[in-house]
Structure 1
Amino acid sequence: MCFSFFSPRCYIFIVILSCLVSTAQATQWIDYPSSGVATMTHYTLPNNYIASCGCTADSTHYPTAALNQMAFGSSTAYGPACGRCFKLTLLNTFLSDPPFFPPQQKSLVVKVTDLCPLSTTGWCNATTSGPNAAGNYLNFDLAFPSSSIPDDFFPSDQALYGYTDFGVWNVSYQSVDCKPNWAGSKSAAALGSVADLGDSVCCPVNPTGDVNNTCPSFSDDNGIP
């Protein structure tokens, strides 16, 4: 038993407990490979809106997406996924009957600028304990419609299904360098974080996973669940 904070036994106990807490925090996030299969949904992001990462307003003029919270790496503000770029390729729908396999597999490169909050339902609810309802641990929530993405990006067969928006797709994803792959990489105004928000934002130009160019977890650093 620890009778005094300053006793050696108590100090060792506190250090071990601190390490266990830190480890628990570090391992709650989904550690995903650089390529694989994910789900993709879409949501409305207003033009020039400053999303969770704090990327510049001009980033919304190019393809962006939110990533599910436990892969994003923070429950609020910025996380390690901020600024990362991924090539997403449409594979098939799976809620439609029958599933739809497009004749052409369209792709685009997105930059992660936002988080899709964890919930008990929906497609952003994967945790380290289990995937979402499609069996995937990642969900990319594409900012769409967008002036940077063709209106017909999502294919369909309206004659067969009676509608054009399937809502959710299986996609393949591949982590890629933002430069030169992301369309916004050639626009200085679309890169980086909002300048006047200081340490409350983090949107690297081309994060690689290195500690020097990748965002930490805002919620971990600030003790937010």
Structure 2
Amino acid sequence: MLPWSNSSATPLSRLLSFIVTLFSFLPHISWASEWIDYSPGGYATMTHYSLPENFIAACGCTSTSTNYPTAAMNQMAYGSSTSYGPACGQCFNLTLLNSFLSNPPFYPNVTKSVVVKVTDLCPLSLSGWCNATTHGPNAGGHYLNFDLAWPSSSIPNDFFPSDEPLYGHTDFGVWNISYQSVSCTNWEGWNHVAALGSVANLGYSACCPDDPAASTNDTCPSYSDNNGIPPDTQTSGFVISPSNSLLPIITLAVSLLSHML
């Protein structure tokens, strides 16, 4: 017998029993965001994408930032499903290790690195290189992917090494890399004031600190958590962020109970 079918119970007690029962059928609700907590240094994959110069990306960093090395980070490490996130403004030294997809793997003779500023979001997908979640890494076995804005006037055209005679092409597409969080004073755009900060007229939807590594108080919050937008993990069922209200569920309970009275 269902707990709310007792005719001798008061409407209030029946409502409370119904709500308790309703929650017992929601075992997959997570009350905390499932953002990836990564270390300051480690290994990741690197891809590249086309970002037009003077383009305002997800963080809302100034358009002039695109004149210098920038990258997008995979959504669940970036820390938001839209707009800005905790990764915005962070700077990393990225070092190429070897190509991932080539057969045999290609190990360059010269070590190449670049310091990038994270200005963009690489959306979560069911496949691809930005699909890592807390439940599993991407196809390269890593929880981080840096999507480098390239070609770029700030990065040499031959930044990615190749061996065309052996492989028949020059762009391997995906690389295994090492990464290290660094102060943005190491970023090429640091001495150019116009490349720093957020776009003023975007208001609350922009957050691009100059150098988050210099102060823990200079880190963007998760736009998703602050605005009640749950991260879409696509692998772990429905997720409710802490800021989400229970009002819709309670309203549903009251509505259903009213038809039982």
Q: What TM-score do you get using the length of structure 2 for normalisation? A: 0.77
Instruction: Determine which of 174, 191, 195 is the counterpart of 2:196.
Output: 191
Equivalent in the alignment of 2:246: none
Contact 1:30 1:137 (8 Å CA) reproduced = yes
Instruction: Determine which of 210, 213, 224 is the counterpart of 1:208.
Output: 213
Question: SS state of the match for residue 32, structure 2?
Answer: helix
Deviations 1:118-147 (A, max 9, x none): 000100000000000010000000000000
Equivalent in the alignment of 1:223: 228
Deviations 1:17-69 (A, max 9, x none): xxxxx97333x000000000000000000110000000000000000000000
Contact 1:71 1:138 (8 Å CA) reproduced = yes
Question: SS state of the match for residue 189, structure 2?
Answer: helix
The Cα of 1:212 is off from its aligned counterpart by 2.4
The 5 Å alignment of 1:93-112 reads: 93-112=99-118
1:130 and 2:136 aligned: yes
Contact 1:25 1:220 (8 Å CA) reproduced = no
Query: 1:107 and 1:86, CA in 2 relative to 1: closer, same or farther beyond 3 A?
Result: same
The 5 Å alignment of 1:1-225 reads: 24-26=31-33, 28-178=34-184, 180-208=185-213, 212-225=217-230
Percent identity of equivalent pairs: 69
C-alpha distance in 1, partners of 2:32/2:194? 35
The Cα of 1:208 is off from its aligned counterpart by 2.8
Question: SS state of the match for residue 181, structure 2?
Answer: strand
Deviations 1:42-99 (A, max 9, x none): 0000110000000000000000000000000000000000000000000001210110
C-alpha distance in 1, partners of 2:62/2:215? 22
Question: SS state of the match for residue 212, structure 2?
Answer: coil
C-alpha distance in 1, partners of 2:180/2:170? 26
Question: SS state of the match for residue 25, structure 1?
Answer: coil
Contact 2:151 2:157 (8 Å CA) reproduced = yes
The Cα of 1:195 is off from its aligned counterpart by 1.0
For 1:97, give the aligned amino acid: N
Equivalent in the alignment of 1:17: none
C-alpha distance in 1, partners of 2:112/2:215? 30
Larger Rg: 2
For 1:58, give the aligned amino acid: T
Contact 1:123 1:139 (8 Å CA) reproduced = yes
Which residues of structure 2 form unaligned runs of 5+? 4-10, 21-28, 231-261
**What's the Cα RMSD here?**
2.6
The Cα of 1:210 is off from its aligned counterpart by 5.1
Question: SS state of the match for residue 203, structure 2?
Answer: helix
Query: 1:52 and 1:34, CA in 2 relative to 1: closer, same or farther beyond 3 A?
Result: same
Contact 2:183 2:214 (8 Å CA) reproduced = no
C-alpha distance in 2, partners of 1:50/1:202? 12
Which residues of structure 1 form unaligned runs of 5+? 14-21
C-alpha distance in 1, partners of 2:195/2:223? 22
Contact 2:88 2:220 (8 Å CA) reproduced = yes
C-alpha distance in 1, partners of 2:211/2:100? 33
C-alpha distance in 1, partners of 2:105/2:160? 14
